[in-house]
Amino acid sequence: MEALVLAQAAKVDTGDTAWMLAATALVLLMTPALGLFYAGLVRSKNTLNTFMMCIAAIAIATVTWAAIGYSFAFGEANEIIGGFDHAFLKDVTLEPREGSTIPHLLFFAFQGTFCIITVALISGAVVERMRFGAFLVFAALWSVLVYAVLAHWAFGPGWLLNGGTLDFAGGVPVEMASGFSALAAALVVGARKDYGRLALLPHNAIYCLLGAGLLWFGWFGFNGGSGFGTGQNSVLAFTNTLLCPATSLIVWFALDLIRGRTVTAIGAATAIIVGCVLITPAGGFVSPGWAMALGAAGALPCYAVIAFRPRTRVDETLDVLAAHGIAGLTGILFVGFFAQESWNGISDGLLYGNAAQLGDQALAALAAPAYAFVMTFALLKLIGLLMPLRATQREEALGMDVVQHGEEAYVSGEGAILVAPEPDAAGEVAVAQPG
Amino acid sequence: MKLVIGIVRPEKANDVLEALYRAEVRGVSLSRVQGHGGELDRVETYRGTTVKMGLSDKVRFEIAVSDPFVEPTISALCEGGRTGEVGDGKIFVVPLERVVRIRTSETDDAAVTPVGA
């Protein structure tokens, strides 16, 4: 037994570890970048609250990930859920995780940053009205009961991974999970009070572009790190992360031109994110040429959903479903058609003679959205029984920044009176007795 | 002719515009102002600094109308701007000496009557 363990114990590779340390930091940057992107898309009175939901995701999801989420995701109890093997970082050491060349602790940190960004993504469905406290409770429960379970299915080793589903960097637990959870969250929390009646417009397109640019930058760590080293799949995924969003941008420009006769900036910011999401499940599995095709073709369904959604009563405010759910689903299915063993060394898709791969991908594209939607719907209904999910109409009118945080994003300071600490008694006496 | 000045909550500005539109009052100017009208101060904290925000954001409507439109304008402002809480704002009605429409040099009632009305 001991000899077997020794034989399996791989050595830590310094090059792989160096890249994964950097990649982990890159993925963490994506969450404040998302905060900036989301903050630009809301009205100015909700800027801070929107950004703070992303910051809160870092706090909450990191702690739940260390406590139990990582164990549920990467423990080996069964194919549905990971169990308690690694609860509170038990046996997560500096030795490499089985089958990898980086320290287990680093693998834990890298995967933790994925959980964080996914929780932050869902906030886009409920900004401008959900109470901050209720969101914190939701974030804690969702990160463990939804994210960790889906991560186990796709990466774990869970039933999707073992069944042959290919998901390079998180089409299942990150993109489809956040997108379809966002839809459920929007339905349970309900529309903003003025939704569909007044124009509720983005207040700062610069934030959107800068946020999207930083997200793209971070995504090189997200996709490029999902090969857990510096191997060929990592290089392929890294380069595809450059190629795919570029073609998404061009197609988005064309669609904007056809629809509104101008190329819009907020459309461009959205296209960058859509392109990055499209390549997430496919990054290390498809050729650079097919990555560019994916960016172009995959932009179409996402654009259609973004154009259609505001005509409905569903106030899925920042279109997480379109940009993440639909794009993630498209990317997962794309792998089933265009995966190429000569590039990925693992499996071919339908086009290269392996029709079964498409079946495996379709299974993930059904199971993940269904689980995410149902669980999120139930979780929020449950939390709603214990505490109000949303602010009152009056608070919503005032803005979530002042109501939830007691701050404003664009404070002028005019008319602000300093609230001094209690003056000490001696000082008062001295002033009170002039001359 | 009167100049009706209405100062309302920014979040009620759209409701006021809607009410004015329904009352067929056209020709409106509005600006963002800061003011204080006896409502409770908001307390905000920035790191260690706690401040009372003495001024609140308001929206100021300026509407020049002919005499028959004074009452409809006032009731539209009240109807659109009211929440029932302190801080809903005020309406000031002041007499107008002269109005000139720049494009046509029309004056007074003709100048405050919107084109096409």
Q: Is B32 on the interface with A (CB under 8 A)?
A: no
- Structure ipTM: 0.80
Taking the CA of residue A123 and the nearest CA in chain B, the distance in Å comes to: 23
Q: Which residues pair with B53 in a beta bridge?
A: A416, B42
Return the C-alpha torsion angle A177, A182, A188, A191, nearest 10: -170
* Angle in degrees, CA A109, A113, A115, rounded to 5: 115
Domains of chain B, earliest start first: 2-112 (3.30.70.120)
pLDDT the model gives residue B45: 87
pLDDT the model gives residue B113: 77
Interval B15-70: pLDDT, tens: 999 999 999 988 899 999 998 877 777 888 888 888 888 888 899 999 999 999 99
Interchain proximity A414–B34, CB inside 8 Å: yes
Nearest-angstrom CA–CA distance, A275 and A222: 13
Instruction: Average the pLDDT over B67-82 and give the result.
Output: 94
pLDDT the model gives residue A423: 53
pLDDT band at residue B80, thresholds of 50, 70 and 90?
Answer: very high
Interchain proximity B34–A412, CB inside 8 Å: yes
The arrangement of strands across the sheet holding B29-35 comes to B29-35, B56-65, B2-8, B89-95
Instruction: Average the pLDDT over B100-111 and give the result.
Output: 88
Interchain proximity B51–A416, CB inside 8 Å: yes
> What pTM does this model have?
0.91
Break chain A into its structural domains and give their ranges.
13-387+398-405
pLDDT the model gives residue A421: 63
Cβ contacts of A414 on chain B, cutoff 8 Å? 34, 55
Rounded to 10°, the helix A288-308/A265-279 angle is: 130
pLDDT the model gives residue B23: 92
Q: Is B47 on the interface with A (CB under 8 A)?
A: no
For A199, nearest residue in chain B (alpha carbons):
B14
Cβ contacts of A198 on chain B, cutoff 8 Å? 14
pLDDT beneath 50: ranges in chain A: 1-7, 425-435
pLDDT the model gives residue A210: 98
Q: Which fold has domain A13-387+398-405?
A: Ammonium transporter fold (1.10.3430)
Interchain proximity A406–B45, CB inside 8 Å: yes
Nearest-angstrom CA–CA distance, B76 and B15: 9
Counting one residue from chain A and one from chain B, the pairs whose CB atoms sit within 8 A come to: 46
pLDDT the model gives residue A198: 85
pLDDT the model gives residue B114: 74
pLDDT the model gives residue B117: 56
Interval A11-39: pLDDT, tens: 899 999 999 999 999 999 999 999 999 99
Nearest-angstrom CA–CA distance, A315 and A250: 28
Cβ contacts of A411 on chain B, cutoff 8 Å? 44, 46
Are A19 and A234 within 8 A, CB to CB?
yes
**Which residues on chain A place their C-beta less than 8 Å from a C-beta of chain B?**
194, 198, 394, 397-398, 402, 406-408, 411-419
Interchain proximity B41–A198, CB inside 8 Å: no
